Structures are given as structure tokens and as C-alpha cells.
Amino acid sequence: MNFEPGNLYHVYNQGNNRQKIFFSRENYLFFLKKIKIHILPHADIVAWCLMPNHFHLMIYVKDVSVAIAADSIHGVTSSHPVNMQSRPVSRGNEINLNNNIAIMLRSYTRAINKQFDRSGNLFREATKAECLTKINGITPAFFCSQINVRIPEKEYPQVCFNYIHQNPVNANLVKLPEEWEFSSYADYCGIRNGKLINRARAAEFGLVYSCLQG
């Protein structure tokens, strides 16, 4: 995955052979904690949805690589990012978004394998990341295969935002998007005050109320 700061991306993966990846409410909540730990140092979460056998994240990338405290590298105490401009940074004391996504999925897989006394891959090997603001003529087929987009750089973020929140409805899991607990829709429509999403960042792209418009 090639991430560039200042762009929106649709990041997604699904269970290997389309198997389930979430088996209980606790699994969903545990994965959300992993997102906070591994994604937020690099990116703002604009939208998210966890489905029984896959997940969607819409993120705004701030930093591809982020410096971390030395004791964090050795697993001692601190895992907080430090200011990259405050001291020289080498490969030995920085983390990058690609690696953190891989670590997040491996860590979650280990937990599920331990829970169910299983082994092997839980997710597909390749996590996908489609740039929504720098299209270069490529259509993200995952959610745009049947629509005519005239101005991709402006319309893809809107389409993706709506697609992510409508996913549980399209999969016949619920009748209304607000009925699905494990997405950011409830935060945008005001029935929950979740802290994972960055509403100000979404507003920069005009996305705050789009899911409420159907």
C-alpha cells in the first residue's frame, strides 16, 4: 500500500476465504481498540464499519511514519508518538502506517486463534487501500463499479462515505444504518458520541451529513 500524507484512503480487508472475523460483540470492540492504537498515530478516521467478515476504514493520512519513544521500541512502557521535529529520527525509532496495519491484523488474528484454539490466517494476505482524492484515472471497483462519477477527486469521498455506512443495510444485516452498532453512522447522526472519528476532518471534505441524506 502506498500512502501519501494529505489524502483520503479507503482501507479494507476481509476474512480469508470470506470467513468470519468477528464472532462476538467483544471481538468488535477489541478490534476498535486495535484501530485506535495502530491507525490514529498516522491518520484521522473519517468513517468506519466492521462487518462480520470484513472491515472498512476511511482515513485521512497525516504522517506515513511517526517517531516513537525509545522505550516503546523495546516494549517497556510508553507507546505515545513524539514530535518528529524535536529530535533526529532513524529507522530504529519510528513506525509506519503499512507496518502498523499489518501488526494490527496479526495481533487480532493471534487473539482470535487463541480464543478458538485455531491456527492459520484470519484475514486475506493483502489489505487494500484505494486513494479517494488522487485517482489518476483508476476507479475503485470495490464500491464504484456501477456508478458514473464525473469528478472523481470530489465525488469518490462522498460515494465511499455513503457506501461504508450503507454496507450493513446492503448486506441485509439491518433495515436502517443506525441499527448497526459497529459503524460510525451512529456518531454522525447524533445517537452516539463516539471518539474514534474526526468530525472536523470529515467536514473539510463536506462529508458530515452525507450519510443522513440517503
The answer to whether 163 and 57 are in contact (CB under 8 A) is no
Sorted by where each begins, the domain ranges of the chain are: 8-213
pLDDT digits (tens, 9 = 90+) for 145-193: 444 445 555 678 988 999 999 999 999 999 999 999 999 999 998 899 9
pLDDT per position in the chain (214 positions), as tens?
889 999 999 999 999 999 999 999 999 999 999 999 999 999 999 999 999 999 999 999 998 776 665 444 333 333 333 333 323 333 456 789 999 999 999 999 999 999 999 999 999 999 999 999 986 644 555 554 444 445 555 678 988 999 999 999 999 999 999 999 999 999 998 899 999 999 999 999 988 654 444 4
| pLDDT confidence of residue 89 | 35
Give the other-Cβ count within 10 Å of 113's Cβ: 14
The answer to whether 132 and 6 are in contact (CB under 8 A) is no
149-150-154 Cα angle (round to 5): 85
Instruction: List the one residue out of 206, 200, 110, 119 whose CA is nearest residue 157.
Output: 206
Residue with cell 511517526: 66
| pLDDT confidence of residue 153 | 52
| pLDDT confidence of residue 40 | 96
Q: Is the pTM of this model over 0.85?
A: no
The answer to whether 197 and 187 are in contact (CB under 8 A) is yes
Give the other-Cβ count within 10 Å of 70's Cβ: 12
C-alpha 12/C-alpha 49 separation (Å) is 10
| pLDDT confidence of residue 23 | 97
Instruction: List the one residue out of 29, 38, 171 whose CA is nearest residue 96.
Output: 38
Topology adopted by domain 8-213: Alpha-Beta Plaits (3.30.70)
